[in-house]
Structure 1
Amino acid sequence: MTERRVCRARQAVVPLLAAGALLSGCGVLPGSAGGSPGPVVVMTWAPEDTGATNMPGMIAMAQAFEHYVNDTGGLNGRKLKVLTCNEHNDSVAVSQCAQQAADAHAVAVVGSYSEEGGTFSTALESNDIAYLGGYGITQDEFQSPLSYPVNGGLPALLAGSGGQLSRLCKKVALVRPDTITGDQFPIFLDQGLTAAGRPVARDLPAQDDASDYTDVAQRAVGDNKASTCVSAVLGDHTSTFFDSLRRLGDTPPKVRLSSVIGSVQQSLVDATGGPHSPLENAVVTGWYPPASDPKWDEMKAVVEKYAFSDDRIDVADPGVQTTWIAYTVFSKVIRGMEKDTDVTADTVQRALDRTTKLSTGGLTPDLGWTDTDLLNIPDHARLVDSKVTYQVVRQGKLVQQGSGFVDVAATLRKASSFH
């Protein structure tokens, strides 16, 4: 595998080198060993200004982290250079982003979001570029040998949500995107429900960029009993669904509301009334501790100092949090490399492949991607973190429900085998 990567790296890098550049072995760039060290180049991509889910905060968090690292000594004496790219929720655009990363000799794509998993995984594999800390929205992120996830993705959230709802509801209605990605949602939620003896959810696919959800909201509420839970997982448009739900009839729905982090977060609770929000008492499954947890203090301090006026960053946004964790991991891995090692896409992959028991300060379980760290979940071979947190909206704040992480590995194995 290493020899193939090295040869492909040579083929990809040589035509792109500027005239007069010196090559050593398989294409060490000028400014590496034997000269003034150049920057460590990475890329972060995410969709911005689209009609569906947007993640501008991930781009902004990557830029803030760049300033933070370079202001505190860099990475083993080298500057960090973060390239950003708007992938537009589009397969062509994300291919172009991947090509830009390759052209710039990026050593990894870090802390990014794209629903075009098949496209970007193929593009990165062809250029031997690692994908570290993706959002976890696509199955490809848990299958590509060059993917290094830091959470359990949407599968873990949905499996965990099924377990969380099984304690509260006799029936569940799931409102989710009518997309190929959305088609996977019921599989994992249902496994979480049935593991606790509950019936599968009523599956209600909906347009993921609609301006009104009155029809699907009426179907979700059904006979409007308090023993029914309505779970909406529509990304940015989850707020539109809950607004349609709120406007049904003359009285508030009796059903219990639910979602996963990313579709519901603290900013949505604030925007819909805080303690008086219709989301009061809603339950939410997340990957990480709530934003109020002191474990996020370092991230908040970095945002305060390096992105104070950047309103793209919401410290409670799981995309922003994932990017922070991914860059924290990346910087630790690079600083753990021998100082005379050339930092290239190949050496970064090898360093990641050797990483185990890497602490994120309690934001996730310790991470690693060695053979002993992989959880051997069918169709999710790269998954190393199967733990989630249960949260609830109380007095207008998302707070922890119960204590610590909940492991959903067994549920994921059953769901993956069923799929």
Structure 2
Amino acid sequence: MIDEAAAKLTGEPIVIADISDLTGVPGFDPSPMPSGARAAAAYVNDNGGVGGRPIKITSCDSKTDPGASAACAQQAVAQNSLAVIGLDNFSGTGGDALFESNDIVTLNAPNQPTLIQSPNSFAIGPGGIGEFYGLGHHLGTTAQVKRVSLLMQDSPVGHTYAEQLTEAATAAGVETVNPVFFNPQITDFSAPVARATSTDPQAVFTLVNGSQIPLVWNLLQQQGIRSEQIYIHSVAMDATVFEAAGSVAVGANVVSEFTNPDDLSDPDVRIYREAMDKYGFGDISRTALASWGFANVMFLAETARTIGADKVDAATLHEYLTTTLGPGSTTTIPTFLGSPVGAAPPEHPGIHRPGISILRWDGTNFVTVEDFFSAPQLRPGRP
């Protein structure tokens, strides 16, 4: 069914290349992102495509490996891709410069310093920098806690995230931030959890995934941390995992980059959930990465329509986004399942949508605790 609509359209296909680390990180499965993108492409194609042009999604596994990432980038260029989407943590080693030289914008998750600083980056999710500056701000202002502990992977990304969260939390009034780093390969979290809880924190952030979630959260609760005091990043947001975790997950908080997938009063969410069910991806619809993949394609499809089906290609898309969202611009572009994109803050030219929200798992559904907001550190400058 997912390819039937495209087959009925006679226009030249619009290729969108998903490059994601589908393998290489224990307990981490980003496959919902390309799956969400395919569902959105099918939805767009079922509704006439972009002026009769079907959207085609290609998927390449960058394998959390610089060489594989570079090979995927070369493939995306050879396919004359309109844009690159996905979650590729090594695109800076060979892909990003290649995309820029070929006028191909990247919507890759902006977790690398190179993407955060890149004028060729137009990600519609704010990535780690949005989440961790945002969460730090939330903890100090909305939650009004004074002591926070961080359970972070001992990796360059983990240390960067800890610095960002600490900076924002301290600026927002948090008095003590206790970062605890762990080897991503461990299976026994007793020691890092003990260090994290030794400072009597009022909130604990956990950079863990999949099967690690119930294990770590159970240990935290054994040490007196209530589920309402636990926070986790959006990539780990997965209703199926939370349901399997049982009572230890009830009340835990998630940093979200997209609209609550259980808020069926939102028309975007209704379209999204119905499309995911129709095209065979209903079981992953309540994950952050599926929302992101779907939103990527919807954003690009709508932008392509604005440019014009007969004019849109990588070069015209690059020109449109660069001009419309240039420094100091007050123009915004709607984002499906998210707050609008706009001009980037001067210090972070690759961050065009800094908005995040805080959700809470109630055992059955995600409930919105705080709707979209942006940390002061990421708000765009205005003329």
TM-score calculated relative to the size of structure 2: 0.84
Q: Does 1:118 align with 2:92?
A: yes
Q: Which amino acid aligns with 2:253?
A: V
1:357 is matched with 332
Q: Which amino acid aligns with 1:411?
A: Q
- The partner residue of 2:349 within 363, 370, 381 is 381
Q: Does 1:330 align with 2:300?
A: yes
Shift in Å at residue 43 of structure 1?
Answer: 0.7
Q: Does 1:253 align with 2:224?
A: yes
1:195 is matched with 171
In the comparison of the two structures, how many residue pairs are matched? 355
2:6 is matched with none
- The partner residue of 1:398 within 342, 348, 366 is 366
Q: Does 1:92 align with 2:67?
A: yes
Max Rg structure: 1
Larger deviation: 316-325 or 92-101?
316-325
Shift in Å at residue 158 of structure 1?
Answer: 0.9
Contact 2:132 2:161 in 1 (8 A): yes
Whole-angstrom distance in 2 between the partners of 1:62 and 1:347: 22
- The RMSD of aligned alpha carbons is 2.4
1:336 alignment partner, SS class: helix
2:212 is matched with 240
1:278 alignment partner, SS class: helix
TM-score calculated relative to the size of structure 1: 0.78
Alignment of 1:7-46 (within 5 A): 37-46=11-20
Whole-angstrom distance in 2 between the partners of 1:323 and 1:70: 16
Shift in Å at residue 266 of structure 1?
Answer: 2.8
1:147 is matched with 121
Q: Does 1:65 align with 2:46?
A: no
Contact 2:233 2:254 in 1 (8 A): yes
1:135 is matched with 109
Whole-angstrom distance in 1 between the partners of 2:25 and 2:315: 37
Whole-angstrom distance in 1 between the partners of 2:176 and 2:160: 14
Q: Which amino acid aligns with 1:113?
A: L
1:231 alignment partner, SS class: strand
Contact 2:17 2:76 in 1 (8 A): yes
1:22 is matched with none
Contact 2:153 2:182 in 1 (8 A): yes
1:6 is matched with none
Q: Which amino acid aligns with 2:358?
A: Y
Whole-angstrom distance in 2 between the partners of 1:73 and 1:245: 46
Contact 1:186 1:201 in 2 (8 A): no
Change (3 A) 1:179 1:248: closer
Whole-angstrom distance in 1 between the partners of 2:286 and 2:297: 17
1:45 alignment partner, SS class: strand
Contact 1:212 1:240 in 2 (8 A): no
Change (3 A) 1:74 1:289: closer
Whole-angstrom distance in 1 between the partners of 2:220 and 2:153: 21
Q: Which amino acid aligns with 2:215?
A: D
1:147 alignment partner, SS class: coil
Change (3 A) 1:338 1:128: closer
Contact 1:156 1:387 in 2 (8 A): yes
Runs of 4+ in 1 over 4 A off after TM superposition: none
2:350 alignment partner, SS class: coil
Shift in Å at residue 109 of structure 1?
Answer: 1.0
Q: Which amino acid aligns with 2:341?
A: L
Whole-angstrom distance in 1 between the partners of 2:219 and 2:174: 29
1:297 is matched with 270
2:243 is matched with 270
Shift in Å at residue 104 of structure 1?
Answer: 1.4
Q: Which amino acid aligns with 1:321?
A: S
Whole-angstrom distance in 1 between the partners of 2:126 and 2:276: 25
- What are the Cα deviations for residues 310-367 of structure 1, in whole angstroms up to 9, with x where unaligned? 75xx2222211111111111001111123432x3321221232344432235x32222
Q: Which runs of 5+ in 1 are unaligned?
A: 1-35, 414-419
Change (3 A) 1:338 1:183: same
- The partner residue of 2:374 within 399, 407, 411 is 407
Contact 1:161 1:259 in 2 (8 A): no
Shift in Å at residue 412 of structure 1?
Answer: 4.1
Shift in Å at residue 287 of structure 1?
Answer: 1.7
Shift in Å at residue 92 of structure 1?
Answer: 0.8
2:49 alignment partner, SS class: coil
Contact 2:109 2:126 in 1 (8 A): no
Whole-angstrom distance in 1 between the partners of 2:349 and 2:220: 43
Whole-angstrom distance in 2 between the partners of 1:91 and 1:177: 20
Q: Which runs of 5+ in 2 are unaligned?
A: 1-9, 325-330
Larger deviation: 45-54 or 112-121?
45-54
